[in-house]
Amino acid sequence: MDALREMMKDKKRIVIKIGSSSLQHAQTGDLDYIKLELLVRELCDIRNQGKDVVLVSSGAIAAGRKAVHLKNTEEKTESTIAVKQACAAVGQARLMMTYQKLFGEYNQVTAQILMTKNTIVDNLNRYNAHNTFSELFNLGVIPIVNENDTVATYEIEIGDNDTLSAIVAALVDADLLILLSDIDGLYTDDPRTNPDAAFIETVPCLTEELMHMGKKSTGSSVGTGGMNTKLQAAVIATKSDTDMVIANSRDLRVIHKILEGESIGTLFLKNPDEGFDLPEFVEGLNR
Ligand code: GLU
């Protein structure tokens, strides 16, 4: 086994991010309960190994849109922000209800944490959020995090959950961030359009050249993350002393396999940067 991957076995605090497109059926937009159940079982098992787990889950807006019978196109009207926020308000509650039911089957307690930019930029908010996470870990609870889309407008929005999950990883001093997506990891080019694109197993250091490989979109119609946001997440995580893996959510058993040291996805090695200022970085997002 690769020595770098062997180190994954020692990770004690893990943040796992799953995107909307990984949680629903592409054809109908309805929740994929088989995947959700598998996700929950994997996370409960990691917790049972004595590790701290945080789940960053998207899907609130998609669930809300479904609940009030909106089609994708209707979201793109003038009322986009208000519609999105209304859908988030409906969907976040539904999403948590589903998670609590599934986690409850394994007697696992969960908590909801909704964040905005201000949670990090404001010193008191950040301090309080950090303490809340610590206490939840002490209590053996799995925090489920999302952006507070219902109130987050341009000035205070983080914008996508790839970035949010890296911010959470930095805030809680996580050892590992796993981004689960509809792609296998990082390629030298877009594998859907370039058959010569080569898969990158390990990124020891984020070079300018690598950053340019980020593409605008994954091709998914839900969620907001593309390779760009994943690379931005890698910057935040690796500078904050956290390793990061991008892996495909097709089979969610990859979660325990990654933690057992299997070579799955792309591993971005931590590269702690003393000069990296998380609140300053977050304040500058979307500007
Ligand atoms: N926060 C959004 C939601 O829960 C998703 C953002 C994203 O997919 O990056 O629907």
Predicted confidence (pLDDT) per residue in 159-206, tens digit: 899 999 999 999 999 999 999 998 899 988 888 888 888 999 999 999
> Does ligand 1 lie within 6 Å of residue 98's CB atom?
no
Count CB atoms within 10 A of the CB of residue 151. Answer: 14
Q: Tell me: pLDDT of 73 over 80.
A: no
**Cα of 96 from ligand 1 centre, angstroms:** 14
Q: Tell me: pLDDT of 225 over 60.
A: no
Q: Is the dihedral angle over the CA atoms 38, 40, 44, 47 positive or is it negative? A: positive
> Does ligand 1 lie within 6 Å of residue 185's CB atom?
no
Q: Tell me: pLDDT of 77 over 70.
A: no
Average pLDDT over residues 96-110: 97
Q: Using the CB atoms, write b or e for 165-184: b if 16+ within 10 Å.
A: bbbbbbbbebbbbbbbbbbb
Which letter does DSSP use for residue 8 in this model? Answer: G
> Does ligand 1 lie within 6 Å of residue 147's CB atom?
yes
d(CA 58, CA 98): 13
Question: Which residue minimizes the CA distance to atom 8 of ligand 1?
Answer: 223
Average pLDDT over residues 79-84: 82
Average pLDDT over residues 106-118: 97
Q: Tell me: pLDDT of 215 over 60.
A: no
The mean pLDDT of the chain is 91
**Cα of 63 from ligand 1 centre, angstroms:** 10
How many CA atoms does the CB half-sphere of 133 hold within 13 Å?
A: 27
> Does ligand 1 lie within 6 Å of residue 64's CB atom?
no
Q: Tell me: pLDDT of 209 over 90.
A: no
> Does ligand 1 lie within 6 Å of residue 225's CB atom?
yes
> Does ligand 1 lie within 6 Å of residue 265's CB atom?
no
Q: Tell me: pLDDT of 212 over 80.
A: no
Probe residue for ligand 1, chosen from 23, 56, 61, 229 as the CB with the greatest number of ligand atoms within 8 Å: 61
**Cα of 248 from ligand 1 centre, angstroms:** 18
Q: Tell me: pLDDT of 75 over 60.
A: no
> Does ligand 1 lie within 6 Å of residue 15's CB atom?
no
Average pLDDT over residues 239-265: 97
**Cα of 245 from ligand 1 centre, angstroms:** 19
Higher pLDDT, 29 or 166: 166
Which letter does DSSP use for residue 270 in this model? Answer: P
> Does ligand 1 lie within 6 Å of residue 149's CB atom?
yes
Ligand 1: atom nearest CA of 160 is 9
Q: What is the model's pLDDT at position 58?
A: 93
Q: What is the model's pLDDT at position 214?
A: 63
Ligand 1: atom nearest CA of 225 is 9
**Cα of 6 from ligand 1 centre, angstroms:** 32
> Count of H helices and E strands in the chain?
12, 10
Ligand 1: atom nearest CA of 149 is 1
